[in-house]
Amino acid sequence: MTLSDELNVMVEKARRYLNSAEMLRMEKDYDSAISRLYYAMFYCAEALLLAKGYSFSSHRAVLSAFAQHFVKTNFLPKDLHIWLHEAFEKRQISDYEFTTRAGDTEVSDMKIKTERFIARTEEILKREGYL
Q: Which CATH superfamily is domain 3-127 in?
A: Nucleotidyltransferases  domain 2 (1.20.120.330)
Angle subtended at Cα 109 by Cα 72 and Cα 87, rounded to the nearest 5 degrees: 50
pLDDT band at 2 (very low <50, low <70, confident <90, very high): very high
Angle subtended at Cα 14 by Cα 104 and Cα 85, rounded to the nearest 5 degrees: 65
Share of the chain above pLDDT 90, in %: 91
Q: Which residues contact 28 (CB under 8 A, 6 or more apart)?
A: 104
Q: What is the pLDDT of residue 102?
A: 84
Q: What are the tens digits of pLDDT across the range 8-36?
A: 999 999 999 999 999 999 999 999 999 99
Q: What are the tens digits of pLDDT across the range 76-109?
A: 999 999 999 999 999 998 888 877 678 999 999 9
Q: What is the pLDDT of residue 20?
A: 98
